[in-house]
Structure 1
């Protein structure tokens, strides 16, 4: 059980950053190139590269190179499941407690 708790904790740490969460939310809609991610999220270099690097190292996203452009897509189905839960809690009437 301790190993499972450690893996879950690491997964949650990967999501527990506003920029990374924004990037992952954009990628739930499909593959995106870096310039699109920058425009959609407002995250500027070098922070964008840093956060994409963390998500890549954690195995949550995977890159695909096409010429000089790099595209990213989700690589871990747990991300989609977790983001759906977060959406249900924070982005629906259920989650509106302000």
Structure 2
């Protein structure tokens, strides 16, 4: 087996594993995963997400809050609407791999 990356010291691997586990833990929820998949297509407001994903508003707000608290999404206010977009490059990369593995035809 050939290695395409230089060796990483154990402390760095532990830190990276902890960070990766934290990301995967946040994504390991069907509603949050759906939200991230939808947002990977571009920015959306709560009413759009509710209509597109058929997630009821209380659940939607709760899960968007979890994503925001963990730095995976960012918000922008425009009038009465709050628009959400993905703020985490690692999360977007994971979503892309999941899409390729589970959703692409």
What is the Cα deviation at residue 32 of structure 1? Answer: 0.2
1:20 aligns with 2:32: yes
- In our comparison, the structure showing a higher alpha carbon Rg is 2
Report the counterpart of residue 10 of structure 2 in structure 1: none
Gapped runs of 5+ residues in structure 1?
94-98
Q: Distance in 2 between matches of 1:3 and 1:90?
A: 28
Q: Which residue of 2 aligns with 1:46?
A: 58
Deviation at 1:51, TM superposition (A): 0.2
Q: Give the TM-score, by structure 2 length.
A: 0.83
Tell me the CA shift for residue 92 of structure 1: 3.5
Cα RMSD for the two superposed structures = 1.1
Match in the other structure for 2:14: 2
TM-score normalized by the length of structure 1: 0.89
